[in-house]
Structure 1
Amino acid sequence: MAKCDVCGKDESMPYNCRHCGGTFCADHRLPENHDCTGLQDWNDPQGVFDSGFDNSVNGGGSTSRASSLVDKLPINTGAGGPLAYFRGNATYTFLALMWLTFLAQLIVQLTLTANVYRALFVLTPQNPEYIWTWFTSIFAHGGFMHIVFNSIVIFFFGPLVERYVGSRNFAILFLVSGALAGLGQIAIQYVQGPITPLTPGVLGASGAALAIMGVLTVLNPNLTVYVYFIIPAPIWALTGLTALASVFFIGTGGGGDIAHMAHLVGLLIGLGYGEYVKRTQNVRTPSQFQLGGGGGGPGGPGGPGGRRRF
């Protein structure tokens, strides 16, 4: 059961507006019946009806050039093409890239050396000048349960944030928060002790995932998340516990091979961006959400070479 955001009526089969994210009964499901925030941006090319990837509605010179380049690709990128599902769906695009990268990791592990593996996928304190690893390390993961855990969080929470901020801004948030989270972990490693050949690097999308949670925490702190579809908890509590755990383990130097500074940096970026969105945009958020998935967490050993997972 869910309550209509307009009249408060209990609905066993509620409607969720894909433009504002609200929950409504049959009488208020249409955008014009619930004062949808997307209506005011109907004629705004940068508003909620813009996918963030296709800017052809602008009609500008730079957009026309971009469109002409896309048209030259040997793949049908139109609405009926094989890539149509990913247009306006940055969340699922990133999830696909994560799993493709994980497959590439397995192939490299079987065919190449550990040094090559680290140079391709792991952001290391020994070689932070390998700029490509700032981003490949976001999509790489240290084990099956590691990528499953991050995929669950991104799959459930990512579309909500993408719906509020647009695909382009979501993509920027994901990449920037993920890269800065990894660099933040590298920085704390320099502060905590000398860097040796055995000092672990970092990899994983948890920094970006926690940035996504941070945005939702600001926009709707009382959003009820049903963990494993059973245990209700407000998202602010989940976010707060994560932040406290990260601060504790950073202060004590514990936490095993989990990159807690990366978690904290990603979360702070999400909270800051969420506050910006809250102040500059009028967004409508749902009152409850279900989060479930397999057991295990982002920690645990695995793969060639030492590294911290986040």
Structure 2
Amino acid sequence: MRATLDTLAIAALFGIAQGALRFVDLAGVFALATPLSVAPWTVVTSVYAHGSVGHLLANGLALLLVGPLIERRTTRLRFHAFVVATGALAGIAQVTLGGLIGPPSAVLGLSGAVFALGGYLLAGNIVTATLFDRLRLPPRAQFALFGLVAVVLTATTAAPGVALIAHAVGAFCGLLAGRIGLLDAR
């Protein structure tokens, strides 16, 4: 549970920093927004920063549900790299694609990475692997199925202001990574 707690501690430190930066009107300095070239560090900082204490608590609770189960299968370094990589990809997808279908907005939070961890858990377990082996689905069919599952998982969190594209991309990345056992240290 150490990598999960590390991740929560980093997010809490970002929350404290955001609180302090609110006093000088710089609370949004960690947010990922378009164009990405303006503040490239936000690709990483946006994964750990959150819009509110409630947002951090919701993501933290979800992380506590899936994180420890993934930690058992991987190394601490792989866990952290996966959280940053999938969270960053989800955030980039949200600000890029979200700006195409609506007004541009900034993105914050661990939810893309948490959806990736959940997707990994769903696709990377022995039951799912056995099912896929028995079904003998071609790679394209598996890819399409993962896309559908990502959309269904994302629909469960649909609400105004929720980064649905980030959730879907995170879940999809996690499903793919779980299917190939990307994090498995065995």
Partner of 2:107 in structure 1? 202
**TM-score by structure 2 length?**
0.78
Gaps of 5+ in 1: 1-87, 224-239, 284-310
Which amino acid in the other structure matches residue 70 of structure 2? V
Structure label with greater radius of gyration: 1
3-state DSSP of counterpart to 1:270: helix
Following the alignment from structure 1 to structure 2, what is the Cα–Cα distance between the partners of residues 140 and 180? 15
How does 1:94-113 map onto structure 2 within 5 Å?
94-109=7-22, 111-113=23-25
Deviations 1:74-108 (A, max 9, x none): xxxxxxxxxxxxxx822211110101111111111
Deviations 1:183-214 (A, max 9, x none): 00011123214x5xxx3211010000011101
**1:10 match:** none
Question: Equivalent of 1:170, from 76, 79, 82?
Answer: 79
Kindly report the root-mean-square deviation, in angstroms, between the aligned alpha carbons of the 2 structures.
Answer: 2.8
1:203, 1:94 → 2: CA distance? Answer: 15
Q: 1:221 to 1:268 in 2, by over 3 A?
A: farther
Aligned to 1:140: 49
In structure 1, C-alpha distance between the alignment counterparts of 2:169 and 2:36, rounded to whole Å: 17
Matched ranges for 1:1-310 at <5 A: 89-109=2-22, 111-113=23-25, 116-118=26-28, 120-125=29-34, 127-129=35-37, 130-193=39-102, 199-220=104-125, 243-244=151-152, 246=154, 255-277=159-181
CA distance in 1, matches of 2:156, 2:73: 32
Q: CA deviation at 1:143?
A: 1.4
8 Å contact from structure 1 (residues 165, 277) kept in 2: no
Deviation of 1:139 after TM superposition, in Å, equals: 0.8
For residue 297 of structure 1, what is the aligned residue in structure 2? none
- Which structure would you say has the larger RCO, counting Cα contacts within 8 Å and 6 or more residues apart? 2
Question: Which AA in structure 2 matches 1:89?
Answer: R
More strand as a share of residues = 1
SS in 1 for 2:160: coil
Instruction: Say if 2:119 and 2:174, in contact at 8 Å, map to a contact too.
Output: yes
How many percent of aligned residue pairs carry the same amino acid?
30
TM-score, with normalisation over the residues of structure 1?
0.48
Rounded Cα–Cα distance in structure 2 between residues aligned with 1:159 and 1:143: 24
Separation (CA, whole Å) in 1 of partners of 2:185 and 2:16: 40
